[in-house]
Amino acid sequence: MSIHAKQAEGPLGKERVFKRDPDLPLSEDIRDLVFELEAEGEWIVQRVPEPYVEVPRKDGRAKKVPLQHTWHHKSCGQCGHIPGYSTAIFWLHRKLGLEYDDPKDQTSCTGWNYYASATSNAAAQAAVAVRNFAAAYVTGFFPLIHCGTSYGHYKEVREELVKHPELRAQVREIMAKLGKPLVMPEEIVHYSEWVYAVRHEIAARKVYDCREIVVTVHPACHYYKLVQGDAIYDPDIYGGQRTAVVTAVAKALGAQVKDYSTWFDCCGFGFRHILVQRDFTRSFAVNRKIETMLEEAKPDVVLTHDTGCVTTLDKSQFAAQVHNKKVGVPVMSEAQFAALAMGAHPYRVCQLHWHAADYRPLLEKMGIDWKEKWQEFEEDLERIRRGEKDYLTWEDVDAEIPARHFLQVS
């Protein structure tokens, strides 16, 4: 085989597939440094439990995503304001027969407050992070982080702890006073990476046809911009040039993912802005994101993978109606959408009544009878109201669809 000069037609005839040159040196891998510090006795590294799935990272390396025995680091914004988000993540685990822990020995990462008000500091933020890591470690379950901000922030904390011995010493001392070891997980894993890792298992269990559903994806800044190297990039999704989470899941479910020209824009959450400067948040979310999506892609649903993005894109639409803005598209996490496709109850599991933009047309298009489902949920509420039940339980929900056999891990 000889190496000829390139063909005359230039890029017209060229098939472009990005392949990372295996001979090129890779940038520094923070995980190596994390393990080095363990070898020096600085901290304990919690290993990703087997079985895990190896998924491709932006920097060309592989990331281990645990399938089960995960310690669910919940999100305050999800649990507090869009509880169907967290519930859907748990429900997916249950349906796939994967064991998880939903701990009470967990605080928020406090990153939302830190990025909003700066009424904290690097040591406090690191101490909160490693306190949660230690809490996970003692259970033997591995942290799976629900919130994009917690995920990005914890990766930032990991870098700071690795780079600054004095910070490590300070935090180790604090942990000693709390009677806890200094622990760093081998990987910092976001729930959307787990959903990505099990997307084909989810797709295999889908009970509604999603082929007519047009999806636009909003990627979360704190997922792929804050600390970039270990976000998931898949050569089959956007040519490996944009993060693959969420999009890969929607595609696996058979939905039509459509692009729009402000894909990379932030949602406008702003941390402090969503709470005390909402004119910014609303304007940005509607003018830059929702209107552009509706004009260019006409989605049936906007899927994203972070707390603030769902809240911002969903809740900002109502007020814009008075300005005759083009709004009115449901917003939810890909976990909720995947759960719906797998037959999860839109109210008992996905808790869509907490969402502001109208989701009912989406359910109708998917073939889900929301009136009947709401009736069922109303009856649940009535039973609780009458005192016949204290709570809606997992047993109530799990009973709906027979649990499939355990996930086969190859």
Partner 1 sequence: MALHAPPKLERYADIPYEEKERLFQEVKADPRFPDYLYGCYECGICVAACPSARFYDFSPRKIAQTLAREDVELFFYQLNEDVWNCSQCFSCNRCPRGNSPGGLITIMREVAVRNGLRSAKEALEGYSRVIYKIMATGTQVSPDMIQADAFPDWGPVAKETADNLELWRKALPPETMHTTSTAWEVSEQTLTELYLIWHMTGVMDMIKEVDEGLHMILLDVMEELLEERGYALAE
Partner 2 sequence: MASDVVLVIGGGPAGLEAARGAADLGAKVVLVEERDHLGGTPVFERYAALTHGFQDAEEVMNRLAQEVTTHPNVQVKLSTRVVGCTGSKGDFHVTLTKVSDGASETVHAGAIIVATGFQHFDPGRETQVYGYYEYPDVITLADAEAMLKARKFVRPSTGLPPERVCFIQCVGSRDRQIGNEYCSKVCCGIASKQAIEIRQQVPNCKVYIFYIDMRMYGYWENEIYWPAQEQYKVNYIKGIATEIIQKGDKLLVRGEDTTLGRPMEVLMDMVILSVGMEPSKGTREVARILGLKQNKYGFIEVPHEGVDPVATSVPGIFVAGAAAGPKDLDDSMSMAGAAAMKAVAAIRRAIAVASGG
CB of 53 to partner 1, least distance (A): 24
57 binds, among partner 2, partner 1, none (CB under 5 to 8 A by kind): none
The rounded distance, in Å, linking the Cα atoms of 160 and 122 is 8
Alpha-helical runs (H) found in 40-82: 76-81
CA-closest candidate to residue 66, choices 220, 224, 188: 188
DSSP string for residues in 270-326: TTTHHHH-HHHHHHIIIIIIIHHHHHHT--SEEEE-SHHHHHHHHHTHHHHGGGT-S
Only one of the segments 44-52, 102-110, 247-255, 400-408 lies at the binding site for partner 1 (rule: CB under 8 A); that segment is 102-110
The rounded distance, in Å, linking the Cα atoms of 361 and 80 is 25
Q: Does 27 bind partner 2 (CB under 8 A)?
A: yes
406 binds, among partner 2, partner 1, none (CB under 5 to 8 A by kind): none
Q: Does 3 bind partner 2 (CB under 8 A)?
A: yes
DSSP string for residues in 349-384: TS-GGG-SS--HHHHHHHT--HHHHHHHHHHHHHHH
272 binds, among partner 2, partner 1, none (CB under 5 to 8 A by kind): partner 1
Nearer to partner 2, 154 or 224 (CB): 224
| Sites for partner 1 among residues 264-303 (CB under 8 A) | 264-266, 268-273, 275-276, 278, 280, 282-284, 288
Amino acid at 56: P
- Whether 138 and 107 have beta carbons less than 8 Å apart is answered as no
Q: Does 241 bind partner 2 (CB under 8 A)?
A: yes
Among 296, 319, 328, 396, indicate the residue that binds partner 2 (CB under 8 A).
296
Q: How far is residue 262 CA from its own chain's centroid?
A: 20
Among 54, 264, 364, 369, indicate the residue that binds partner 2 (CB under 8 A).
264
Residues in the interface with partner 2 (CB under 8 A) total: 33
Q: Does 143 bind partner 1 (CB under 8 A)?
A: no
Q: Does 22 bind partner 2 (CB under 8 A)?
A: no
Q: Does 107 bind partner 1 (CB under 8 A)?
A: yes
Nearer to partner 1, 52 or 90 (CB): 90
Determine how many CB atoms are found less than 10 A away from the CB of residue 79. Answer: 16
Among 45, 48, 63, 77, indicate the residue that binds partner 1 (CB under 8 A).
77
- Whether 370 and 350 have beta carbons less than 8 Å apart is answered as no
Cis peptide upstream of residue 103 (ω within 30 degrees of 0): no
Give the list of residues 6+ apart from residue 307 with CB closer than 8 angstroms, or none. 75, 76, 77, 78, 82, 85, 146, 147, 148, 149
Among 16, 177, 211, 386, indicate the residue that binds partner 2 (CB under 8 A).
16
- Whether 308 and 149 have beta carbons less than 8 Å apart is answered as yes
The rounded distance, in Å, linking the Cα atoms of 96 and 335 is 13
| Sites for partner 1 among residues 319-348 (CB under 8 A) | 319, 348
Nearer to partner 1, 26 or 409 (CB): 26
Give the residues across from 72 on adjacent strands.
144
305 binds, among partner 2, partner 1, none (CB under 5 to 8 A by kind): none
Q: Does 163 bind partner 2 (CB under 8 A)?
A: no
CB of 272 to partner 1, least distance (A): 6
Among 21, 40, 372, 395, indicate the residue that binds partner 2 (CB under 8 A).
21
Among 32, 259, 378, 398, indicate the residue that binds partner 2 (CB under 8 A).
259
Q: Does 2 bind partner 2 (CB under 8 A)?
A: yes
CB of 155 to partner 2, least distance (A): 15
| Sites for partner 1 among residues 34-73 (CB under 8 A) | none
| Sites for partner 1 among residues 217-236 (CB under 8 A) | 221-222, 225-228
Determine how many CB atoms are found less than 10 A away from the CB of residue 44. Answer: 16
Among 35, 49, 51, 81, indicate the residue that binds partner 1 (CB under 8 A).
81
The pair of three-digit structure tokens given for residue 121, joined into one six-digit string? 């500091």
Binding site for partner 2 (CB under 8 A): 1-6, 8-12, 14, 16-21, 23-25, 27, 228, 238-242, 259, 261, 263-264, 296
